[in-house]
């Protein structure tokens, strides 16, 4: 009997990728006398903000991010059925934690509706695998003999969703126009995954809610380049239940699981070339480790 608690949490990594740190509104060295509105007239109140001396990012952005993470998951319950009532075997299965590794490529479209609020949509693809070892004693009621089952199960599928970002900042030093900024982001994603092992099927959709917050400093490197550094934290609330079946319909299963540590710390940086191009990298530290890189273009 294969154990498959692997799809329900997959949206978490994809959701992390959507949390790109956008350029916050910040005080600039000298405000223009008569700022010109963007052709879209976004963001709302943008002209007023620039007239008061705030430097705003261009309202629209497109970007691509690559994300990779590794983290353990707790298996809280495992139930199996062969045509009758489900039987919980979690109490005597020698498996309570598994290691997961996954990567995602995500595209993003965003727009600043207000100087302090951006909304975005994301879409991309996720792939990963889970590793562990099950020491399974005989389950006589289901006719399953004792066995040791190594896990090396892969999964993949498309991800889609959206979210919003609140951001703001103010100048703290005239040296290189140093600005303190804060960013809070929340997003929700859905991932439709298939197991790479075609003996297993599931109709469960992986869902994830991710919240992150960052505080950092941004300053001028040259007349055409700015840089930013930040620290922060991220929380993941992912799907807890996975329902599936074997391809030959010989058994069905229900798995209840969750991340060992839903919170982790973030450290990152960004380089902005002019007002149109930016590159960023961010690492996650703690029980969940991650690395994310991104390229964005604003217009």
User: pLDDT tens string for the chain (299 positions)?
Assistant: 333 333 333 333 333 333 344 455 555 544 446 788 999 999 999 999 888 888 889 999 999 999 999 999 887 777 778 777 777 776 656 666 788 899 999 999 999 999 999 999 999 999 988 877 666 667 677 676 776 656 677 888 999 999 999 999 999 999 999 999 999 999 999 998 887 777 777 777 888 999 999 999 999 999 999 999 999 999 999 877 777 777 777 778 777 778 899 999 999 999 999 999 999 999 999 999 999 999 999 99
> What's the confidence (pLDDT) of residue 6?
33
For 134, half-sphere exposure in the C-beta direction (CA atoms, 13 angstrom radius) is 24
* Integer Cα distance of 185 and 112 in angstroms: 13
> What's the confidence (pLDDT) of residue 135?
66
> What's the confidence (pLDDT) of residue 133?
67
For residue 102, list its beta bridge partners: 69, 128
Burial of 238 per CB tally in 10 Å (0-12, 13-18, 19+): buried
> What's the confidence (pLDDT) of residue 93?
64
Burial of 27 per CB tally in 10 Å (0-12, 13-18, 19+): middle
Which residue in this structure is represented by tokens 């005080």? 27
Task: Copy the structure tokens of residue 208.
Answer: 């994830």
136-69-22 Cα angle (round to 5): 150
Residue whose C-alpha is closest to residue 186's, from 158, 208, 169, 207 = 208
Q: Cis check for the bond before 43: say yes or no (omega within 30 of 0).
A: yes
Which residue in this structure is represented by tokens 């992150």? 212
> What's the confidence (pLDDT) of residue 1?
35
Note the pTM of the prediction, 2 decimals. Answer: 0.82
Class of domain 11-298: mainly beta
> What's the confidence (pLDDT) of residue 279?
98
Cβ(156)–Cβ(193) under 8 Å? yes
Helices of type H across 3-70: 11-17, 46-51
């Amino acid at each position: 009997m294969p154990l498959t608690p692997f799809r329900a949490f997959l949206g978490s990594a994809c959701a992390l990728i959507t949390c790109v740190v956008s350029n916050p509104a910040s005080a600039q060295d000298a405000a223009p006398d008569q700022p010109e509105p963007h052709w879209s007239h976004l963001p709302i109140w943008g002209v007023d903000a620039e007239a008061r001396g705030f430097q705003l990012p261009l309202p629209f952005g497109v970007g691509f991010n690559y994300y990779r993470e590794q983290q353990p998951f707790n298996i809280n319950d495992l139930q199996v059925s062969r045509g009758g009532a489900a039987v919980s075997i979690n109490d005597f299965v020698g498996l309570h934690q598994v290691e997961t590794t996954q990567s995602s490529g995500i595209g993003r479209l965003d727009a600043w509706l207000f100087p302090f609020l951006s909304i975005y949509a994301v879409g991309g693809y996720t792939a990963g695998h889970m590793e562990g070892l099950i020491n399974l004693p005989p389950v006589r009621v289901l006719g399953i003999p004792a066995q040791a089952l190594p896990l090396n199960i892969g999964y993949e599928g498309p991800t889609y969703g959206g979210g919003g970002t609140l951001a703001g900042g103010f100048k703290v030093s005239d040296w290189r126009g140093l600005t303190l900024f804060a960013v809070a982001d929340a997003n929700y994603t859905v991932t439709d995954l298939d197991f790479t092992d075609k003996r297993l099927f599931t109709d469960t959709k992986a869902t994830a809610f991710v919240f992150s917050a960052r505080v950092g400093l941004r300053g001028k490197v040259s007349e055409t380049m700015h840089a930013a550094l930040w620290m922060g934290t991220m929380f993941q609330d992912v799907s807890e239940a996975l329902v599936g079946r074997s391809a030959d319909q010989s058994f069905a299963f229900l798995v209840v699981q969750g991340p060992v540590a839903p919170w982790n710390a973030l450290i990152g940086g960004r380089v902005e070339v002019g007002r149109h191009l930016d590159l960023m990298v961010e690492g996650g530290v703690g029980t969940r480790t991650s690395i994310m890189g991104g390229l964005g273009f604003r217009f």
